[in-house]
Structure 1
Amino acid sequence: MTILDLTGAAGRRRRETTTITPQEAPNRRNTELALLAFAVLLPVLAYANVGLAMDGRVPAGMLEYGLGMGALALVAHLVMRRFAPYADPLLLPLAALLNGLGLVMIWRLDKAGPLLRGNFPAAANQLMWSGLGIALFAGVIVLLKDHRILQRYTYISMAAALVLLAAPAFLPARQSDYGAKIWIHLGSFSFQPGEFAKIILTVFFAGYLMVKRDALALASRRFMGLYLPRGRDLGPIVVVWLLSILILVFETDLGTSFLFFGLFVVMLYVATERTSWIVFGLLMSVGGAAVVASSEQHVKTRIDAWLDPMAAFAAHPPAGSTEQIGQTLMAFGSGGVTGSGLGQGRSWLIQFAAKSDFILGSFGEELGLAGMMALFLLYGLVVQRGLRTAVAARDPFGKLLAVGLSSAFALQVFVVAGGVTGLIPLTGMTMPFLAQGGSSVVANWALIAILLKISDSARRPAAPPPAPRAAAPEPTRAAGA
């Protein structure tokens, strides 16, 4: 019996023992509204703090910024109140808070001016993308009547995701892409299709594993305490492994490759409860990365920078070395425990990626270790509420979809934070909601919307059974009959 079976049985027992009418069930929308007010107020205070630290006065646009963020949050809340009244009350405020803090830091780095090489104002564009993300969020909440509808598009999702992932490899790259072919450029407009592909792939994995999980859970033999999967059942994981290697080879994109393969292995384990899938997945990912790193120069350069982040500061630095990882580590050290204070750091020394790949370095210097732990706690709460939604979901597809979306979010945070802090090689992905990047913020708002729809379906009380019909009275016989 798998995790999906156990949680489904528990949910059935709860529904059999407790009947709550929709009118009696709390929907927690007032709690969400109160948390949203805090999620808007905190970035506004941070915005004022940056202005006071850098200019000695409150920023002139603070009122407009507060009203704009408040209006976007209120629109999202009203949509939730009308179309998903029983959804989780924490996910929307958490996303709004992370998005707001990211906007403040991007604006703070905009003010560095010529100190930041290649600097251009990005806060206004990021606010526009945030508005589009919340518009997509509202569209998903309104139009997606039932998350189970997505199961109908299992194989269409696979085809669409593969097209999105493969498209950048066949298009010319720009020098501004710094070696990784992960962008699609249309004139002055560009977007990163991998951010949307992670959601579409999760839909495919959830639909596929819901049907095939029983066959994948079968084991042919036991070796060193592990149940080995049957040879014919290794097909799916081998295909996914090969696709992730192809992405790594043709697009030199460590982040998307790791996210793609790691997501499938995690969902395989949840669906089958076979530890052998995790072991096989780790062995195949490490082996594939080692082979590609020995042959692909861009990947090899990133691994060398991970092994020796201070090599660029040597008297004779090796070719292709980068200063950014070393500068970020020094920014973390400069911030200490409590940080230098918003607007009072020197994170502009990280240069062109201070607002995107290395925005955690900016936060680490100005908020310190305490602020970084608070940010990771916010991300952890998003993942925890997503996994809680998976446990509460009433259908296997919803459980797998919620697990997959939460895992994709968690893996992206781990990949970015691990690369910036030197735990793993740098991947070039963006920190969800915090970093500059329109594709990322829009896609992650859509991810939160799907999780909330699953949560609304899981928390919505079951309708009470219809009352039994009263027996019709027997006809009386007439006297003398």
Structure 2
Amino acid sequence: MSRLSRIDNSSIGRWWRSVDRMTLACVGTLIGFGYILMLAASPAVAVRIGASRNMFIFKQVMFLAIAGLIVVGVSMLSRKGVMRLAFIGCVVAIGATAMTLVHGIEIKGARRWIALPMMSVQPSEFLKPCFAVVTAWLLAQRRVRRYFPGMLLAFAGYGVILVLLKSQPDIGMLTVITTVFMAQLFVDGLNILLVGIGFGAMGGAGVAAYFIFPHVRSRVERFLHPNVGDHYQIDTALRAFGNGGLMGRGPGEGRVKDLLPDAHADFVFAVAGEEYGMLICLFIIAVFATIVIRTVLRLLREDDPFLILATSGLVTGFGLQAFVNMGSTLHLIPTKGMTLPFISYGGSSAMSVALTIGMMLALTRQHVRQSRLGRTLATPTGAWKAAT
């Protein structure tokens, strides 16, 4: 493949030479683990709810296949293509999120999903990558157009999203989007004092959510006080990690999938820990860390404000989602129903994360040109601009 890439001048050949192949390999690895762990965790869950034993497996095979195509397809886009996709996606996602308040499916007191054939869609999942790119463009335009109200428009968009997610309610998603937004403002050069005030406001909002929303108060109290409330799920997950030990009990030998209703989704990391052991869990963590670290390192070579802000927001959202899932499963933070990217069951999650990774790969691709000697030269976006 590498030999063909040096002589292939087609769009696929140019894409292959310019894309971060290590990150692409990491994504493929996570999708592979998604298939393996879904085969381990989902049959017992499906039988328990009276569905076909292979229902979740067949659906996830389709979801992850589509996710893989989205990663490759979006990563081939130009910077302008990514911006157009983000603007369209942001408008559609905001409209669909608003629609959930009227026509959404209510589950556990929250309206976050829209019913479609074969699956339910959570529109707010697609707000994370799209709003991050739109925010980056608005903030970057302030450097190009002197009187452009980019900061004001970014806060206005965030305000709309805040109202929608609070109304569902979806405090976890709102926390992730808020953290991504604050990270982008920090990278943009916002005064450190104002950044501190912003994070202080987030803390104040968290305290307010504790008193306003009963489910938030319940999760925090169960995290802080072992003797308060129902600890069945988290205790079972922790026992699964203990049972797995270093090498695991072996494929198919785990018991946590027979006990937890969300073993295929929010607690799939516990299934990995029990059946494959601590070493595989550490390997999964290392794969996520590799994606985040490689993306950040590639940004160090860039000088395009839009590219830096957009990719920073995307990688922050991706890394934060993985941390929240694994951290809550290990009882490091209060439990939160957030999926593990590419591994947990869920169509909306798999496709939104695929969109995130695809945009990251597209924005961090190297620009490839041919030298007079016929050799392929690749330069980062910013360096190529400086050279020309």
What TM-score, normalized by structure 1, do the two folds share?
A: 0.67
Q: Structure 2 unaligned runs (5+)?
A: 373-388
Contact 2:139–2:151 (Cα < 8 Å) also in 1: no
**1:277 CA drift (Å):** 4.1
Residues 193 and 112 of structure 1: CA distance in aligned 2, closer, same or farther (over 3 Å): same
Partner of 2:94: 162
Q: CA deviation at 1:381?
A: 0.5
Indicate the residue corresponding to 1:304 in structure 2.
221
Alignment counterpart, residue 348 of structure 1, candidates 227, 237, 257 = 257
Alpha-carbon spacing, 1:126–1:187, altered in 2? closer, same or farther (3 Å): closer
Equivalent residue of 1:85, what SS?
Answer: helix
> Does the aligned pair in 1 maintain the 2:328–2:334 contact within 8 Å?
yes
Query: Does residue 292 of structure 1 match 2:292?
Result: no
Per-residue deviation at 1:162?
Answer: 2.8
| Corresponding residue number in structure 2 for 1:197 | 127
Native 8 Å contact 1:309 1:326 kept in 2: no
- Within 5 Å, give how 1:9-408 maps onto structure 2: 30=2, 80-112=12-44, 116=48, 120-121=53-54, 122-142=56-76, 144=77, 146-151=78-83, 159-174=91-106, 177-186=107-116, 188-212=118-142, 242=159, 245-247=162-164, 249-272=166-189, 274-308=191-225, 311=228, 318=229, 321=230, 323-393=232-302, 395-408=304-317
Question: In the aligned structure 1, how far is the partner of 2:333 from the partner of 2:298?
Answer: 30
Counterpart of 2:352, as a letter, is: A
Specify whether residues 31 and 351 from structure 1 end up closer, same or farther in structure 2 by C-alpha distance, changes over 3 A only: farther
Q: For 1:303-355, what per-residue CA distance to the aligned partner results, in whole angstroms no more than 9, with x for missing partners?
A: 233234564xxxxxx5xx45212211222222233322222221124422000
The Cα of 1:402 is off from its aligned counterpart by 1.5
CA pair 154-332 structure 1, distance change in 2 beyond 3 A = closer
User: Does the 8 A contact of 1:244 with 1:258 survive in 2?
Assistant: no
Matched, 1:415 2:324: yes
Q: Distance in 1 between matches of 2:26 and 2:151?
A: 38
Counterparts in 2 of 1:427-466, with a 5 A limit?
427-456=336-365, 458=366, 460-461=368-369
Change (3 A) 1:416 1:113: closer
Q: Which residue of 1 aligns with 2:384?
A: none
CA contact (8 A) 1:356 1:435 kept: yes
Aligned CA distance change for structure 1 residues 173 and 400 (closer, same or farther; 3 Å): same
Q: Is residue 249–residue 292 contact of structure 1 (8 Å, CA) maintained in 2?
A: no
- Change in 2 beyond 3 A, CA 1:429/1:304: same
What SS is found at the alignment partner of 1:162? Answer: helix
Q: CA 1:370–1:260 in structure 2 vs 1: closer, same or farther (change >3 Å)?
A: same
For the residues of structure 1 that align with 2:331 and 2:113, how far apart are their CA atoms?
Answer: 25
Aligned mates of 1:99, 1:268 — CA distance in 2: 32
RMSD of Structure 2 on Structure 1 (CA):
3.4
Cα 1:245/1:274, change in 2 over 3 Å = same
1:271–1:132 Cα change, 3 Å: same
What amino acid maps onto 1:402 in structure 2? T
Change (3 A) 1:463 1:255: farther
Quote how far apart the aligned CAs of 1:129 are.
Answer: 1.1
Q: Which residue identity is paired with 2:214?
A: Q
Distance 1:300 1:31 in 2: 58
TM-score (norm 2): 0.82
C-alpha distance in 2, partners of 1:268/1:113?
A: 42
* Pairs aligned (count): 365
**Secondary structure, in 3 states, of the residue corresponding to 1:90?**
helix
Tell me which amino acid in the other structure corresponds to 1:367: Y
Change beyond 3 A, Cα 1:249–1:447: closer
Identity of aligned residues (%): 26
CA apart distance, 1:368:
2.6
Distance 2:90 2:81 in 1: 16
**Comparing 264-273 and 233-242, the one that deviates more:** 233-242
Q: CA deviation at 1:156?
A: 5.8
Report how far residue 430 of structure 1 moved: 0.8
Q: Tell me the amino acid that sits aligned with residue 253 of structure 1.
A: D
- The residue type paired with residue 2 of structure 2 is N
The structure having more radius of gyration, on CA atoms, is: 1
Q: 1:402-455 deviations in whole A, cap 9, x for unaligned?
A: 211111101111222222222222221111001001111122222222222223
- Whether the aligned pair in 1 keeps the contact of 2:246 and 2:278 (CA below 8 Å) is yes
- Of the structure 1 ranges 343-352 and 375-384, higher mean CA displacement relative to structure 2 is found in 343-352
* C-alpha distance in 2 between matches for 1:192 and 1:172: 9
